[in-house]
Amino acid sequence: MRPCGPSSDGDLCEPDTDRATKVDRTVLRRHTGAKMTHPGATPSDKHMVVIIGSGFGGLNAAKKLKRANVDVKMIAKTTHHLFQPLLYQVATGIISEGEIAPLTRVILRNNKNCQVLLGEVTNIDLDNQTVDSVLLGHTYRTPYDSLIVAAGAGQSYFGNDHFAEWAPGMKTIDDALELRGRILGAFEQAERSSDPERRAKLLTFVVVGAGPTGVEMAGQIAELADHTLKGAFRHIDSTKARVILLDAAPAVLPPMGEKLGKKAAARLEKLGVEIQLGAMVTNVDRNGINVKYQDGREERIECQTKVWSAGVSASPLGKLIADQTGAEVDRAGRLKVLPDLTVPGHPNVFVVGDMALVDGVPGQAQGAIQGARYAAKLIKAELNGANPAAREPFKYFDKGSMATVSKYSAVVKVGPLEFGGFIGWLAWLFLHLIYLVGFKARLTTALSWMGTLVGSHRGQLTITEQQAYARTRIEQLEEIVEGVIEEDPQIAAR
């Protein structure tokens, strides 16, 4: 290893007395025998809890440990806590990204025992109890006594990752802003086009995946075209836009049951959304999408804007842990954990949320929240002398699931109770406001909703070229860099 410096390119760094901010607690512990709460801090003998991820699981774990006699380091690859269920409203111009993505360190500023660190975790060494994370080419090593892994999940293209260039998912703020740019940009381009075929392609929007996100996205694109943009153009009629919802499954909203699925489908069709089930996507490119149906038919749909919400894939950290423990992972990359949410042979390592495969626990926010609180509760109890061998297994309390379909319409399933329509929509509004972080976010979101509901106004319709095309520009730049390196391999060594 070498000292950290401005030119550090990702190697693990040794302490450099002239660059104290690079010194991590592992090295200090080895040399002094004392624990450090952060670089440059005074020695501490407190139990160190490292949390990976700032989503629902990570944030709730940190909050639960606020008054515990521990030091907490949260490592996350974004600076914000994302309220992912409302991403589709950012993509369709109802609310701003700031309302659903507050700064994590501001949320936790009163947690005096917690330090928030920006970086992408690249390795977990279970035997040595360390976590490696990378920020701008510098690699940092952080030791732990207890570890809570809540790194969540990303979009899955089922082995066809090249689809992502033309069909962005709905997992990040970048995804939502990119889709907003592409959706609104398609209308702008259609206004300038004199070619009927090109206009038809520009005004065709395909959403892949008929789960909650796909249903919500398809409904909002339809309402955006039919109400918000109606009469705003002179050469095109936005209400003639075609919205198609595709899924390989035989029903809409399969996890919510046949009754609610049919209710949601009926509402979408009333909005003019075309629903095509039993439809498997075989290819996606700049100009359209190829579909194969269960009866063997194949179809080409010409469209510029595609949205992918068909599947999720757990963080690759799950497989990394599985390789060290022999634990199983499923097709989605979720790690099969023990009844106490730990991994075999490591009772101090908890995996929660979308990364954990637990019978009866869906990949929803509540699973992450309850799992994180359970893990934090065990850590606190065992610091007070509780026996780890006597842990009670994690029990999930199902609070139900819901999806909004359109203005004044949502479907809700709570245990055996199923209902929809206006009452379901009111329940959806209330619940999502409650779970937003901060009074200001709740207030501004409520005001944004009122504008959309009363007059079909959407206050976040600003788009930029970077939002719409940053992904392709970055990929083009990467191809150029790769080409230069192939011509001169010495460049990569510098």
**What are the residues facing 298 on neighbouring strands?**
292
Distances (CA, A) of 137 to 1, 68, 277, 367, 370: 15, 34, 45, 33, 35
Return the biggest CA–CA distance within the chain.
75
Residues serving a catalytic function are 216
Structure tokens at 40: 């440059």
Assess contact for 153 and 363: CB atoms under 8 A.
yes
Enumerate the H helices of 193-240 as residue ranges.
196-202, 212-223
**What are the residues facing 232 on neighbouring strands?**
none
**What are the residues facing 412 on neighbouring strands?**
402, 419
Q: C-alpha 166: how far from its chain's center?
A: 19
DSSP E strands, 423-472: none
Which position has the token pair 């259609």? Answer: 190
Q: Kindly state the helix (H) or strand (E) to which residue 290 belongs, with its residue range.
A: strand 288-293
**What are the residues facing 288 on neighbouring strands?**
285, 302
Cα 10 from Cα 26, distance rounded (Å): 17
Cα 111 from Cα 107, distance rounded (Å): 9
Phi/psi for 139 (5° steps) reads: -105, 130
Residue type, 50: V
421-433 residues labelled b (16+ CB within 10 A) or e (exposed): eeebbebbbeebe
Phi/psi for 252 (5° steps) reads: -85, 140
Cα 366-80-410 angle, rounded to 5 deg = 40
C-alpha dihedral (25, 31, 35, 40), degrees to nearest 10: -60
Assess contact for 433 and 404: CB atoms under 8 A.
no
CB 30: neighbour CB atoms within 10 A?
A: 10
